[in-house]
Structure 1
């Protein structure tokens, strides 16, 4: 059992973030558990890379002195699995918003899907979604989006190390991607559909790895809370 001192000295905790939770909510619940169970008045805690509420999977949470390692951990390659829905787009590029356009898919077959994957390997230019937390002129993009404002978003360089199609059952396509920091899988979904002269959006996303850390070694937030032994 880890002690209050252990958490102050620094821990890297592997958490499997549940669906619909924000990364902030997960960290906040853990902070509350550490304070209430271990009698800590103050504890530094933070995560190394946000997951959207509609994504599940690996969240690296650092405590105490290890919060200094967050930047280093954020820079590591990440692996994701999930599902693209081919033939329709949404403004947020995922299920946060309703479908706004539909596209033909009759021309899409397995050969075209596998051929299109090749376009996205290596360094690519990617435009972040308008529904994202990136700031423009001091305001987060999703706030501009919800206000109905049209904003010019600059492209960013990102690297797709691996991109594999694991299941094709149109309109659904399952994938596995290994990518650099700052890659938006939602944008990849949108661009992938566009590259096939159609449309696409993300319906499922799970982060499975960050560097050498694997979600198979992660625990649920509730289990973490239960694992804390009250300090006598």
Structure 2
């Protein structure tokens, strides 16, 4: 797609910027990209690692020449906080589908909850969710899963650098995880529930860090839009130069 003329105040976006975005709940990652593209009119723009609609938190968006760095940022370790609800499971491993297979958790102790994290720490093999965008035979596997077709995915090597239980409010267990790229926290929640013998699903998730980039410094999409508008409004064209705002 050819880049259309943009406001000269936004030339740095063409040169390349890394935007730290606090993605809200229920937005897709592309929703955020599309909104910022609309604000800036920059054609060359993309994100460095998808966040599911039911997850919030840090999303790196790159513009212009910095889109070449997307793969580099995607390969960085990630940090997440969230919650796992024990005593049931869901087909999607999160709240995109209804909980089922309800189980009694009255025998689950705090000691068991903390101890179960050990088997998911370090280099492990993880099977991605069948409801994911991973492609098999050229098609995303979630298309088959949504039709009730069983999809077998091979386990993949990942690394969980730390898996800490931060609060227990049964049936909800709160956690913080630091992991390698390619880790599905939904699968971790499902596998953790299985390890405890009662099932579990991911009930909330927030990405708090990617490499050295922290959610603490991220802006909302609207704040980025306001920043872009401020650049346009405060631009002073050179004598005999640009006059009309794009």
Give the Cα separation in 1 of the matches to 2:178 and 2:61: 21
Cα deviation digits, residues 121-147 of structure 1 (max 9, x gap): 101111111111111111111101111
CA contact (8 A) 2:130 2:152 kept: no
Aligned to 1:142, the other structure's residue is in SS state helix
Give the Cα separation in 2 of the matches to 1:139 and 1:149: 13
1:127 aligns with 2:133: no
Q: Which residue number in structure 2 is paired with residue 39 of structure 1? A: none
How do 1:183-198 and structure 2 match up within 5 A?
Answer: 183-198=183-198
1:101 aligns with 2:107: no
Structure 1 vs Structure 2 CA RMSD: 1.1
* Unmatched runs of 5 consecutive residues or more in structure 1: 36-41
Find 2:27's aligned residue among 21, 38, 63. Answer: 21
Q: Which residue number in structure 1 is paired with residue 241 of structure 2? A: none
1:111 aligns with 2:117: no
Cα deviation digits, residues 77-123 of structure 1 (max 9, x gap): 00000000000100000000011211221221100011111111101
Q: Which residue number in structure 2 is paired with residue 216 of structure 1? A: 216
Aligned to 2:116, the other structure's residue is in SS state helix
Give the Cα separation in 2 of the matches to 1:153 and 1:107: 33
How do 1:151-162 and structure 2 match up within 5 A?
Answer: 151-162=151-162
TM-score normalized by the length of structure 1: 0.95
Give the Cα separation in 2 of the matches to 1:59 and 1:7: 17
Cα deviation digits, residues 37-74 of structure 1 (max 9, x gap): xxxxx531000000000000000000000000000000
Give the Cα separation in 2 of the matches to 1:15 and 1:3: 21
TM-score normalized by the length of structure 2: 0.89
Give the Cα separation in 1 of the matches to 2:132 and 2:146: 11
The offset of 1:222, in angstroms, is 0.8
Give the Cα separation in 1 of the matches to 2:31 and 2:89: 28
Aligned length: 225
Aligned to 1:70, the other structure's residue is in SS state helix
Q: Which has the greater radius of gyration?
A: 2
Give the Cα separation in 1 of the matches to 2:148 and 2:86: 26
Aligned to 1:175, the other structure's residue is in SS state strand
Give the Cα separation in 2 of the matches to 1:134 and 1:52: 13
Aligned to 1:89, the other structure's residue is in SS state coil
Aligned to 1:128, the other structure's residue is in SS state coil
Give the Cα separation in 1 of the matches to 2:43 and 2:9: 13
The offset of 1:4, in angstroms, is 1.8
Runs of 4 or more consecutive aligned structure 1 residues displaced over 2 Å after TM superposition: 229-232
Give the Cα separation in 2 of the matches to 1:15 and 1:99: 31
Q: Which residue number in structure 1 is paired with residue 69 of structure 2? A: 69
